[in-house]
Chains A and B, each alone.
Chain A
Amino acid sequence: MKKQNEKLFTILALVVLGVLVYLAESNLDAYKLRILNLSAIYVTLGVSLNLIYGFTGQFSLGHAGFMAIGAYVTTLLVLPPYYKEMIFILEPLVWPFTVMHSPFIVALLLSGLLSALVAILVGLPVLRLKGDYLGIATLGFAEIVRIIANNIPQVTNGALGIKGIPEFSNLWWTVGVAVFTIYIIKGLINSSYGRALMAIRENEIAAEVVGVNLTYHKVMSFAVSAFFAGVAGGLFACLITTIDPKAFMFVMTFNILIVVVLGGLGSITGTVIAAFLFNYSLEYLRPVEAGFSIGPIVIPAIPGLRMVAFSVLLLLVILYMKKGLLGGAEFSWKGLFQFFRKIFPNKKSSEGSAR
């Protein structure tokens, strides 16, 4: 397969994706659109967490914190000033937030940039830690963000949260950002810098003695990851239209972690599939929570039971599919065509059906 052809197929696939998004936007009901939007946001979240955890090998549990930063920044920037005056009941909103206002895309970018900046400041000391210790420290960071958000009502409206955020997020935004995230992170990991990140994952000492600057590369990976988590947080706020600190509890991080582990550490394709699988299963498993009976055993309605089902699924994947659902395989046009050739050995070349 020639490089030129691959590029052509990619563009073709993007056009098809665009048509699909258009069809979905104009035909599907709000409920179905919500699940698709959430899935697309989870793609962004999952792929960005995979960068720092799957590719760089740094166990970070701070994603909900970066999401929260992005969500609040976007919210404060897109809400019209007169509306802000109305909803901040606990304490009046402080200047300059009262007058700040920007278009959605600027708000998203600033959300990402602020998250990345915080990631650099937090990452410089914290990324010296390894393994579980880093996990605990980053989890602590996310909790600190949430508690701060709870306690500065003059900026965040405290535990009351902010309601009535304009619903800017639609499939064009969420899928567009997901595609952009994949493009950037794929570009990063396929470059020499990405090789350095994977070298750190494989063997830190070996990476260091061949000249990989550990601090720079770890912090860079952490910041890029946080950038996209921040942008996803902004999209999330403008999709749900209401945010409060409770939305960014550690459960949020674990949801993303489930997506990453299901899809496979270090597999972007797997993460994309797992993001959709996760959100759709959450919906399909809803009846489980309504209570049911297995023969004579009656299971009462227990809210949150579907998460138990997920725990079981996660356990099975960890036990039997260590590399995730796809076994670490990555999508490529070459692989796709080889697959088609295997299925249809007689045909000389099969039609290039995208996706």
Chain B
Amino acid sequence: MELLMDLLNIDNITMKFDGLTAVSNFKLKIAPGELVGLIGPNGAGKTTVFNMITGIYTPTINKIYFQDQDITGIKPDKIAKAGIARTFQNIRLLDNLTVIDNVMIGFHLHLKSNLASAILRLPNYAREEESIYHKSMELLEKVQLEKFKLEKAGSLPYGQQRKLEIVRALATGPKLLLLDEPAAGMNPQETKDLMGFIQKIQDDFNLSILLIEHDMKVVMGICRRILVMDYGVTIAEGNPIEIQNNPEVIKAYLGVDANYA
């Protein structure tokens, strides 16, 4: 039932670091508006997949297509411009800059004013900066961070840093959002809020989302399709119920009973 063009098409990529194969033969298609979960034990290669999609690594074998364009080996900033944004497992904010600056930086790649008009603050640049500021404030309001706009990003509590990082990713105007363990370190209530928030931004911004998460409640709750990786290999794919009952998945997560084997 492939009526829609795939937004992202990962065609059997493999990533090798010298002798170590971190990811092998990884295949994934994401349609517009889809929310796909990517799970697996630690070291399975999930973040490596993210790093390949965002251009931090170039796959050793085969290619990645975004909106039918080959984006393999393209620099991260060009990929961001094409419409892929991400967050990091270990939050990467601009710690010494203000919260509002952390969001405004996301709009930089769409800036039309040239360097000279920005330095001299000519009217065309002043207008653009003004509108970037307002759009950033709107985004901050969505996560109730507007009152912290002049605080340093590094001084925010952990959960709010995660939210700020998502908002910064949204500022780049993505079509595909990659979230790397957004619920890590959150308490149950925060996690619940986060689930609602992810679904809300998916609707509001018309996003496709690929989500790495260890919290099964989150993954099973909001993803209709889930991929499971183990040792760099995709061991299962399906809806939450299929995944929960897949013996390979249970084996990967819980190990195998010696008697049972």
Which residues of the other chain, B, contact A191 by a CB distance below 8 angstroms? 118-119, 121, 125, 129
Known: A195-B104, A210-B109. A188 touches B118 (CB 8 A): yes
Which residues of the other chain, B, contact A35 by a CB distance below 8 angstroms? none
Task: Pick the residue among B97, B104, B120 that contacts A192 (CB under 8 A).
Answer: B104
CB distance from B122 to the nearest CB of A (A): 10
Whether B76 pairs with A209 at a CB distance below 8 angstroms is yes
Which residues of the other chain, B, contact A196 by a CB distance below 8 angstroms? 105, 108
User: Cα distance A40–B178 when bound, in Å?
Assistant: 50
Q: Which of B77, B79, B92 has the most CB of A within 10 A?
A: B77
B168 at the interface (CB under 8 A from A): yes
CB distance from B118 to the nearest CB of A (A): 4
CB distance from A2 to the nearest CB of B (A): 16
Which residues of the other chain, B, contact A207 by a CB distance below 8 angstroms? 94, 105
Task: Pick the residue among B108, B115, B129 that contacts A210 (CB under 8 A).
Answer: B108
Whether B109 pairs with A206 at a CB distance below 8 angstroms is no
Secondary structure at the A interface, as helix, strand, loop or mixed, is: helix
Whether B77 pairs with A208 at a CB distance below 8 angstroms is yes
Whether B77 pairs with A203 at a CB distance below 8 angstroms is no
B35 at the interface (CB under 8 A from A): no
**In the complex, what residue of chain A is closest to B84 when comparing beta carbons?**
A209
For A, the interface residue count at a CB cutoff of 8 angstroms equals 24
Task: Pick the residue among A187, A188, A199 that contacts B105 (CB under 8 A).
Answer: A199
Interface residues of A in 257-307 (CB under 8 A from B): none
Whether B104 pairs with A193 at a CB distance below 8 angstroms is no
Q: Which of A191, A192, A196 has the most CB of B within 10 A?
A: A192
**In the complex, what residue of chain B is closest to A214 when comparing beta carbons?**
B77
User: Cα distance A209–B54 when bound, in Å?
Assistant: 7
CB distance from B224 to the nearest CB of A (A): 27
Which residues of the other chain, B, contact A96 by a CB distance below 8 angstroms? none
**In the complex, what residue of chain B is closest to A208 when comparing beta carbons?**
B76
Task: Pick the residue among A188, A202, A211, A212 that contacts B119 (CB under 8 A).
Answer: A188
Which residues of the other chain, A, contact B96 by a CB distance below 8 angstroms? 198, 202
User: Cα distance A195–B118 when bound, in Å?
Assistant: 11
Whether A206 pairs with B172 at a CB distance below 8 angstroms is no
CB distance from A47 to the nearest CB of B (A): 14
CB distance from A10 to the nearest CB of B (A): 13
Task: Pick the residue among A184, A198, A211 that contacts B97 (CB under 8 A).
Answer: A198
Task: Pick the residue among A188, A190, A195, A205 that contacts B92 (CB under 8 A).
Answer: A205
B150 at the interface (CB under 8 A from A): no
CB distance from A78 to the nearest CB of B (A): 28
B45 at the interface (CB under 8 A from A): no
Task: Pick the residue among B86, B95, B106, B128 that contacts A202 (CB under 8 A).
Answer: B95
User: Cα distance A198–B135 when bound, in Å?
Assistant: 21
Whether A192 pairs with B108 at a CB distance below 8 angstroms is yes
CB distance from A142 to the nearest CB of B (A): 26
B228 at the interface (CB under 8 A from A): no
User: Cα distance A220–B119 when bound, in Å?
Assistant: 13
A213 at the interface (CB under 8 A from B): yes
Which residues of the other chain, B, contact A187 by a CB distance below 8 angstroms? 118-121
Whether B85 pairs with A195 at a CB distance below 8 angstroms is no
Which residues of the other chain, A, contact B54 by a CB distance below 8 angstroms? 209
Which residues of the other chain, B, contact A205 by a CB distance below 8 angstroms? 56, 76, 88, 92
Which residues of the other chain, B, contact A212 by a CB distance below 8 angstroms? 77, 105, 108-109
Which residues of the other chain, A, contact B121 by a CB distance below 8 angstroms? 187, 190-191
Which residues of the other chain, A, contact B119 by a CB distance below 8 angstroms? 184, 187-188, 191, 193
**In the complex, what residue of chain A is closest to B113 when comparing beta carbons?**
A192
CB distance from B83 to the nearest CB of A (A): 10
Whether B105 pairs with A195 at a CB distance below 8 angstroms is yes
Q: Which of A199, A202, A205, A211 has the most CB of B within 10 A?
A: A211
Which residues of the other chain, A, contact B113 by a CB distance below 8 angstroms? 192
**In the complex, what residue of chain A is closest to B102 when comparing beta carbons?**
A199
CB distance from B232 to the nearest CB of A (A): 22
Known: A191-B129, A192-B111. A210 touches B120 (CB 8 A): no
Known: A188-B118, A191-B129, A209-B76. A198 touches B108 (CB 8 A): no
Q: Which of A184, A193, A210 has the most CB of B within 10 A?
A: A210
Whether B120 pairs with A220 at a CB distance below 8 angstroms is no
> What are 12 of the A-B contact pairs (CB < 8 Å)?
A188-B115, A192-B111, A192-B132, A193-B118, A196-B108, A202-B94, A203-B93, A206-B88, A208-B75, A208-B77, A210-B169, A211-B108
**Inter-chain pairs besides A205-B76, A208-B76, A211-B109, 9 sampled, C-beta below 8 Å:** A190-B121, A191-B118, A192-B129, A192-B132, A196-B108, A202-B93, A202-B94, A202-B96, A210-B169
Query: A residues engaging B (CB < 8 A)?
Result: 184, 187-188, 190-193, 195-196, 198-199, 202-203, 205-214, 220
Q: State the 10 A-B residue pairs at the shortest beta-carbon distance, nearest first.
A: A211-B109, A211-B80, A191-B118, A202-B94, A206-B92, A187-B119, A208-B76, A213-B77, A211-B77, A188-B119
